[in-house]
Amino acid sequence: MIEIKNIQKSFGGVTVLNDISFEFFTGKTNLVIGQSGSGKSVLAKCIVGLHNSDSGEVLYDGRDMQSRTNSERKAIRKEIGMLFQGSALFDSMTVEENVMFPLTMFTKMSKEEMLERANFCLKRVELHNTNKLYPAETSGGMQKRVAIARAIALNPRYLFCDEPNSGLDPKTAIVIDNLIQDITREYNITTVVITHDMNSVLEIGENIMFLHQGINAWQGDRQSIITTDAKAVTEFVYASTFMKDYKKRMK
Amino acid sequence: MLGGCLTRPDKIKVFWKRCVDEVMNLGINSMGIVFIISIFMGMVITIQTASNIDSVLIPKYTVGFTARQTVVLEFSPTIISLILAGIVGSRISSELGSMRVTEQIDALETMGVNSKNYLILPKILGFMFILPFIVVYSMFLGIFGGWLVGTASGIITTADYVYGIQYWFEPFSIFYALIKTVLFAFVIASVSSYYGYHVKGGALEVGRASTKAVIWSSIVILFVNYLVTQLLLID
């Protein structure tokens, strides 16, 4: 479980995150949702330690990330897998080398063992015959899958996905969402998905935090998000004409 | 930035491989352009020297002597380094800048990899290792280019040219050139890495960072050149 307590973050006097507290549960897909510019990605970067928050705590199964020494932080980071918005694959490496990278850096596996593990991870994300391709030679959906395979290569305890289906068609987006949910359940990891995609929310949102203007404006699950009366949430969920009509029909 | 670089690598074997890769990328891949520039500059230096010698009192071997002094003391270490500041500097800066804007550096940090040590230190060490070899290679080519044009056009005989390049030779001048070269390599790799690593924004900023990297590398090279010359050549 990841617990965040009273996270505060400002950039140049502008408060981006204001007193955010939340619990991300193990074995569940935890979603942080909100409009663009609401502070979702900044929150994710504060949680994984890419940004230092101005105040507050981030507890990884009770271990406070910020108060630890560099080596202790590093040890926690090795337990984190992260899928970035643009996949962030190393473009000088092949698909196979990308997945093997964390194994090369942090394990004493032989090359054969690393290859075996990489093939297992690629198979798990349903990628076949792509090992020798470079990221630029693969589609957006394939790149996301490779990034997931790389993120799970070290058997992480925590998985972060920043806008995992941005730039993907709705069908591929759902496939990626389901893949994230399946992996979360299969390996019993704590998964945090940052998204503004309502399809994702309705598909995999088991534990949702709604960020609005830097504050935790609402929390719940995918059932309660469509029935809540919280103004900021309803404006977000029923932003499109189609959804507004749908709501009227439901009433 | 350098403080972050100078830590124990996460894995020595991987670090060593990265250094070798950088030697190839930054050094060996620059050999072609260095070859062309050095040969032609050696030719031009010889022709210009010969064309400026009017007096019969000045021996012919002065052409070889001047070509050697120019190539060894300034052209190969400084001018080649300035040219490589453009080629290698923009390459380093744009590579790191692209990695920054596409979140590849964030990905390394999230994994627990010291990105500065993994990405920057191999570039600095690799380039500091290979640039002296490139400069010595350039010295030979420059002097060879001078001989080639001198003998082919009848400006000077091989015997005079060879005598000239051996005349009053001080091995210290090679040491001075190589000291400069190692410092220039450090300047090019570190200044360019700094600008590339700290890019914020998108493709436009990557381009701007490359330009800044080249400009500042060149300025610092010129300053270091003056400083080292003052320190080593003035008694």
Q: Which amino acid is at A47?
A: I
Whole-number pLDDT of residue B112: 87
Whole-number pLDDT of residue B88: 97
Region A170-180 average pLDDT: 88
Q: Which amino acid is at A61?
A: D
The average confidence (pLDDT) of chain B is: 94
Query: Distance, in angstroms, between B206 CA and closest chain A CA?
Result: 16
- Is B2 domain-assigned? no
Query: Distance, in angstroms, between B112 CA and closest chain A CA?
Result: 5
At B150-181, the pLDDT tens digits run 999 999 999 999 999 999 999 999 999 999 99
- Is B81 domain-assigned? yes
Dihedral over Cα of A58, A25, A44, A227: its sign: negative
Query: Are the Cβ atoms of A84 and B14 closer than 8 angstroms?
Result: no
Region A13-33 average pLDDT: 94
- Tokens 């040969």 sit on residue: B39
- Round to whole Å and give the CA distance between A224 and A31: 14
Whole-number pLDDT of residue B19: 96
Q: Which helix (H) or strand (E) holds A191?
A: strand A190-195
Region A81-86 average pLDDT: 90
pLDDT bin (cut points 50, 70, 90) of residue B235 is low
Whole-number pLDDT of residue A126: 87
ipTM of the complex: 0.85
Question: What is the residue range of B200's domain?
Answer: 11-229
Residue B2 has pLDDT above 80, yes or no: no
- Is B76 domain-assigned? yes
Query: Are the Cβ atoms of A50 and B107 closer than 8 angstroms?
Result: no
Percent residues over pLDDT 70 in chain B: 100
Residues of A in contact with B10 (CB under 8 A): 105-106
Total count of domains within chain B: 1
- Is B3 domain-assigned? no
* Nearest alpha-carbon partner for B77 in B187, B208, B194: B187
Residue B65 has pLDDT above 80, yes or no: yes
- Round to whole Å and give the CA distance between A56 and A102: 30
Q: Which amino acid is at A167?
A: G
Q: Which of A84, A101, A105 sits opposite B106 (nearest CB)?
A: A84
- Is B6 domain-assigned? no
Percent residues over pLDDT 90 in chain A: 59
CB-based contact, B233 to chain A, within 8 Å: no
Domains of chain A by start residue, with CATH: 2-79+157-250 (3.40.50.300), 92-155 (no CATH)
Three-class DSSP category at B45: helix
pLDDT bin (cut points 50, 70, 90) of residue A232 is confident
CB-based contact, A164 to chain B, within 8 Å: no
Residues of A in contact with B115 (CB under 8 A): none
Lowest mean per-residue pLDDT among A85-94, A202-211, A226-235, B27-36: A226-235
- Round to whole Å and give the CA distance between A39 and A32: 10
C-beta neighbour count of A224 within 10 angstroms: 14
At B117-163, the pLDDT tens digits run 999 999 999 999 999 999 999 999 999 999 999 999 999 999 999 99
CB-based contact, A82 to chain B, within 8 Å: yes
Q: Which of B14, B107, B113 sits opposite A88 (nearest CB)?
A: B107
The residue with greater pLDDT, A237 or B165, is B165
Q: Which of A75, A80, A86 sits opposite B110 (nearest CB)?
A: A80
Whole-number pLDDT of residue B106: 92
Q: Where are the alpha helices (DSSP H) in B112-152?
A: 115, 121-152
At A149-169, the pLDDT tens digits run 999 999 999 999 998 888 888
- Is B5 domain-assigned? no
CB-based contact, B29 to chain A, within 8 Å: no
- Is B234 domain-assigned? no
- Is B48 domain-assigned? yes
Query: Are the Cβ atoms of A78 and B113 closer than 8 angstroms?
Result: no
